[in-house]
Amino acid sequence: MLQLTTTSNGTSRVGSRTGPLVVGIGGTMRPGSSTEQAVRAVLSAAEQAGARTHLLGATALQLPLYLPGETRRTAAARQFVNAVRIADGIVIGSPAYHGGISGLVKNALDYIEDLRDAPRPYLHGRAVGCLVTARGSQAATTLTSLRAVVHALRGWPTPLGVAVNTENVTFAADGTTTDSHISSQLSLMGEQIVEFALARSTAA
């Protein structure tokens, strides 16, 4: 995983490695959650496809409640916004809580409003992989909601979205799973994000 450093003026620096930068966003307050491991699996596939990656897991998403009009930002909030600012592609993972996106993830996504006046506003021009985990069938409903949020932020959801029923699927600490179908879907999502990022780079 790529390490991002934030300068005193709030910008982020990345290493000199080439390749598009794919940022993963997601997790729960439980360390090693299925959601965070699924995001890791997508990032791993993106790395295999030639991307640099950076994970913003549960710890990085513990931000103050987003307040419209408030301009003061914690160091964690600045790092989150700047990582999204420089990302060439993104994967967002959320657990399904009562049929919707978790408050932790939704609050972090609200901070993307800080990019409204950026050269690439919000998620403009970025492919965004959307994945949801849930115990049961509610993951599909939440996946639709997450893709709608990405559309509202001007992002391009990848053709493939992944809904993971954790009653049937378990993840190892490195993001691998014994479910070959889910594993191949998460890998394909990572590849689609990188493919889109490279195509955009070539067109530019």
Residue 102 backbone dihedrals phi, psi, to 5 degrees = -65, 150
Decide if 83 is inside a domain.
yes
Decide if 43 is inside a domain.
yes
Q: Pick the more confident residue, 40 or 16.
A: 40
Question: What whole-number distance in Å separates Cα of residue 187 and Cα of residue 12?
Answer: 27
Host domain of residue 58? 21-63+79-203
**pLDDT surpasses 50 at 9:** no
Contact yes or no for 92/119 (Cβ under 8 A): no
**pLDDT surpasses 80 at 76:** yes
Query: What pLDDT does 1 receive?
Result: 56
Question: What whole-number distance in Å separates Cα of residue 77 and Cα of residue 145?
Answer: 24
Query: What pLDDT does 173 receive?
Result: 72
Provide the H-helix boundaries in the chain. 34-48, 75-86, 103-110, 139-152, 180-203
Beta bridge partners of 133: 95, 164
Query: What pLDDT does 10 receive?
Result: 38
- Give residue-wise pLDDT tens across range 10-37: 333 344 468 999 999 998 888 789 999 9
Decide if 92 is inside a domain.
yes
Domain count, the chain: 1
- Give residue-wise pLDDT tens across range 123-147: 999 999 999 999 888 888 999 999 9
**pLDDT surpasses 50 at 152:** yes
The whole model's pTM is what? 0.90
Decide if 73 is inside a domain.
no
**pLDDT surpasses 90 at 177:** no
Query: What pLDDT does 3 receive?
Result: 58
Decide if 126 is inside a domain.
yes
CATH number at residue 188: 3.40.50.360
Candidates 51, 58, 111, 106; CA nearest to 80 is 111
